[in-house]
Amino acid sequence: MELNELRYIVVEGVIGAGKTSLARRLGDHLRAETVFERASDNPFLERFYGDRERYALATQLNFLFQRADQLRPLAQQGLFTQTVVSDFLLDKDPIFARLTLSDDEYALYAKVYEFLAPQAPAPDLVIVLQASIENLLARIERRGIRYERGIERDYLRRLADAYVQHFHHYDRAPILFVNTDDLNFVDEPEHLRLLLVKIAEMRSRREFFSMTSA
């Protein structure tokens, strides 16, 4: 897989996996345009972590509209004159919806999602970051976002399991699964170099990378 031929790269992963940090590093390295999720712009997110049942639908729909709006320009013909790196994939949006919404709420959400989803282009590569629950919780604690500190281990585990199931069946783009337990793309330039080498060497649509396999 030639890096210079990739026009749309997405970095995904559960909370604390490091997707934004890696997307930023890839964007800098590739001199790419970057599209970052704007979680702080969601007025319902903090209230969601305090009362998930009450605010799940509002939080989910706000994110869905925001993400679709950010990605809509990418679907325009001729936009990909340079590489685009993003830290979110619209196709993963239903993961949270299925985990947090009631059946009636999910039915409403699904109708909205089906209307918006075709406007998002398929990536050339999805990098899915994974880590142990202990490392995810430690990273969440270190970054110090107040409302995230209330995330329970059980919720994070269920979310991580849902990600595994989703990307196990995902087939719109090649996927590179990356175990980040022993990787630090922010402070270790060699780790980023090894990842770039792995991407360049990809020959199938589903591959895995970790420090033990490097």
pTM for this structure? 0.92
How far apart (Å, rounded) are the C-alpha atoms in residues 154 and 21? 25
Domain borders along the chain are: 3-209
Q: What is the pLDDT of residue 79?
A: 58
| Per-residue pLDDT tens digits for 13-57 | 999 999 999 999 999 999 999 999 998 899 999 999 889 899 999
Q: What is the pLDDT of residue 49?
A: 87
Q: What is the pLDDT of residue 143?
A: 85
Contact yes or no for 127/178 (Cβ under 8 A): yes
Q: 65 to each of 60, 112, 164, 201, how far by Cα in Å?
A: 9, 9, 24, 36
CATH architecture of 3-209: 3-Layer(aba) Sandwich (3.40)
Show the low-confidence residues of the chain (pLDDT under 50).
none
